[in-house]
Chain A
Amino acid sequence: MSAVQKKLLGIVVVVAAAGVLIGFYIADILMASPRALRPTTPGPNGSLNLTIQTVAAAGPTLTTNPSWVSYFVQDASKRWRHSTIWDLPAHTLVHVTIYQFDGDSGLRNPFMAKVRGTVGNVMRVDGKSMNVLNPDDASHTFAVPQIGLIVPLMGVADDAKNQCDFGPCSLSTAHKTITFTFRTPRKGRYRWQCFVPCAAGFLAGFGGPMQTLGYMDGFLNVT
């Protein structure tokens, strides 16, 4: 093999290797997705408990967009985690507790103020049973449209004392406690989302955290 041929072969090998590496890099970016979490703890009679919180600003501790509105979820060891993709078993009752620390901004579609898809089509707000919320009082929703589940989340009053600055928030700060129970559907991947245009500073309130997994949208991986 002549020196020129060796040089050409070397160039071809280097270019091919670079192409493969670039291909892996692009594939990694395209296929990247937040990791799923199994955030539930055992409840009575085979049911599960799921504890989550909604905050006005995600904060710098667990997120890369500290000013974005966000959900957090509590893992089995009671630590707050920044994840919205959760693994849940099929056909299981899940008792959900949501600590809601954000103020109200109102629903764009008042119809979403009706509680649907929970056991009894009701929720409890600070212990009080409700089946509908004043649409103006909604701060967020927890909704899984594919199974007809929607729970509007009442906002903290604007003049409430000791409000949380950024998440994950402590229960010692002003909040609403919303509880409800729903039954997981059959095996599948179900998206969940917020219906309140709560992304402050984004077009029509529906950019940024509303369009990014890990903040106001996620998946239930029902297995």
Chain B
Amino acid sequence: MRRLGHFERIIVLWLVLSAISMTLVAIFLTPILPPSTDATQASGQRFDNEVLTLVSVFVCALIFVYFGYVLIVFRARDPRASTEGPPIRGHMGAQLTWIVATTVTVLFLAAFGSYELLGGAGGGQGSKPVFTSFSAADRGAHKGDPPLQVQVIGQQWQFTYRYVSNGGFESAQFVLPVDRLVELHVTSLDVIHSFWIPVLGVKADANPGFDNIAYVTPTKVRTVHIQCAELCGLFHGYMFDTGRIVSDSDFAAFVRRQSRFVSPVTKDLPKYGGKYLPEPAFRAG
């Protein structure tokens, strides 16, 4: 039987180590990768993280095997020997393999990442979203209904929320129904903020005078941590909030209760128009 050469041994060891390590990663690591599976957008992001992690493990396995192999096999066995090794010359096959393999890997990751972003992926899409052909999972349990519109208003240093599809009342509480596509209109009254719900995979910049639209479909009843992700002044570090994803009936109860509570001030809110610019737009002093 022919003995395997160095190159072949490295390939075999790489494939074996990859099979073992990728299996272990798939079993133990990918289920806890961020962000979560509690929104369809978050699930998509986790899938992306899983793919990227497994590709990374595959590449890392080659590096570890290569270095381990050459350190062991090509070590100086006689410490007293001081003769130099043979001169290293170019090897067209090795160079071509390296260039082609790395190019294919990088192009694959770029194409995969771009494709995954095409759906919006929970990020702000600007005032005229392009990616609005939602899957059945994105539409949740309300497939025939238009997306629930909620405006997110950033101001130093608190987010408030305007429930556009529910009479337009404003609240300091972030409450969304589960299994329903939500269209978030993110804006700011002063400086640039960033509305971030890590566990739902939602992140959209809040720019003054600009309507930045992001979509999310929560799939689990739970509380969510909200925070500002853009350094916005003295109390940026305190610009966080706790939101709730609730059942349809609990959401309806929230709307009834909250719209009644804030009704004395709802008449004073500016007319809803995507942006939130009370007159005068920039009161100061």
Contacts and interface: CB of A to CB of B under 8 A. Distances in A.
Interface of A: 105-111, 113-114, 116, 121, 131-132, 134-135, 143, 145-146, 148, 191, 193, 195-206, 210-213, 217
Nearest to A148: B172
B152 to A, nearest CB: 13
A40 B153 CA distance: 35
B285 interface: yes
B144 interface: no
Nearest to A198: B285
Interface stretch (B5-13, B78-86, B175-183, B263-271): B263-271
B285 A200 contact: yes
Contacts of B157: 145, 191, 193
A108 B268 contact: no
Contacts of A148: 172
B233 A211 contact: yes
B284 interface: yes
Interface residues of B, number: 29
A61 B189 CA distance: 35
Contact of A108 (B155, B234, B238, B265): B155
Given A191-B235, A191-B238, A210-B156, A110 B265 contact: yes
A197 B283 contact: yes
Contacts of A134: 268
B160 interface: yes
A111 B269 contact: yes
A210 B190 CA distance: 13
Contact of A204 (B153, B268, B284): B284
B285 A105 contact: yes
A114 B234 contact: no
A217 B265 contact: no
B282 interface: yes
Nearest to A205: B284
A137 to B, nearest CB: 11
B191 interface: yes
A134 B284 CA distance: 17
B262 interface: yes
A106 B158 contact: no
Contacts, number: 95
Nearest to A146: B238
A197 B190 contact: yes
B155 A201 contact: no
Nearest to B169: A111
Given A107-B283, A109-B276, A205-B284, 6 more contacts: A105-B284, A105-B285, A111-B265, A146-B238, A203-B284, A205-B282
B285 A108 contact: no
Given A113-B268, A134-B268, A206-B191, A212 B160 contact: no
Interface in B174-207: 189-191
18 contacts: A106-B280, A107-B283, A108-B155, A109-B155, A111-B170, A114-B262, A131-B264, A143-B158, A145-B157, A193-B235, A195-B158, A198-B285, A202-B285, A203-B284, A206-B190, A206-B284, A217-B234, A217-B235
A155 B284 CA distance: 14
B113 interface: no
Interface string B57-96: 0000000000000000000000000000000000000000
Contact of A113 (B158, B172, B265, B282): B265
A198 B10 CA distance: 69
Contact of A132 (B189, B264, B270): B264
A111 B270 CA distance: 10
B278 interface: yes
A49 B276 CA distance: 38
Q: Which 4 A-B pairs have the closest CB atoms?
A: A200-B285, A205-B284, A132-B264, A114-B265
Contacts of A200: 284-285
Contacts of A193: 157, 235
Contacts of B172: 111, 116, 145, 148
Nearest to B265: A114
B71 to A, nearest CB: 41
Interface in B242-285: 261-262, 264-265, 268-270, 276, 278, 280, 282-285
